[in-house]
Amino acid sequence: MPSAFSPEEINQFFTKLHHEFPGNFTELNYTNPYTLLVAVVLSAQSTDKGVNKATASLFQSASSPQQMLDLGQEAVRQAIKTISFYNTKSKHIIQLSQILQNKFQGQVPSCRKDLESLPGVGRKTANVILNMVYHELTIAVDTHIFRVANRTGLAPGKTPLLVEQNLLEVVPSEFLKDAHHMLLMHGRYICKARRPLCASCPVRQECTYTDKAVMF
């Protein structure tokens, strides 16, 4: 489905978002590519705030695959038990750490295929790593970005993959590196799921959301 925006409107949309949310960063706390990978895996169906609380002590003890393996699954499970699906996630963390240690010399791979071969790592997580660690022009479509792309009319699609493909087609090249961060933050803090803050939205003029008038 094509964008509801003209090229000029798309450029204005991202110019305004860039002014509102400059830079490219995550609200997840991490110290290196490995801890970023672990944090993103843990963030599935969990809040960044909750993940940061769980990893505060975990990353002090283990900031590399070998250190995580030395810590052991039970210690990992206890450290992250405040977040959702901690049993499964603790298994994934140990399993992916073992693979990284055995197959990739303890390093986080830069290849999408290799990343997605790791337990608990899907396309969204791989895109985050490729973008933030290896500076590839990828967009990780989570629930916030999926909502923003469809609600605004920027890059509508029925699946996250379609939204990702549509965004990569319409986002101006100068904004591609930071597009994931800008759209995520916009969805998290302004274009919220239940009650979007349309009155204070920097892109309300470009947005095609039909119910935004009632929000003023």
Could you tell me which of 65, 19, 37 has the C-alpha nearest to residue 132?
A: 37
Which tokens is 44 given? 């599935």
Q: Which residue has the tokens 């990569």?
A: 168
The torsion angle over the Cα atoms of residues 182, 185, 187 and 191, rounded to 10 degrees, is -100
What amino acid positions are annotated as catalytic residues?
124, 142
Q: What is the 3-class SS of the chain, one letter each residue? A: CCCCCCHHHHHHHHHHHHHHCCCCCCCCCCCCHHHHHHHHHHCCCCCHHHHHHHHHHHHHHCCCHHHHHHHCHHHHHHHCCCCCCHHHHHHHHHHHHHHHHHHCCCCCCCCHHHHHCCCCCCHHHHHHHHHHCCCCCCCCCCHHHHHHHHHHCCCCCCCHHHHHHHHHHHCCHHHHHHHHHHHHHHHHHCCCCCCCCHHHCCCCCCCCCCCHHHHC
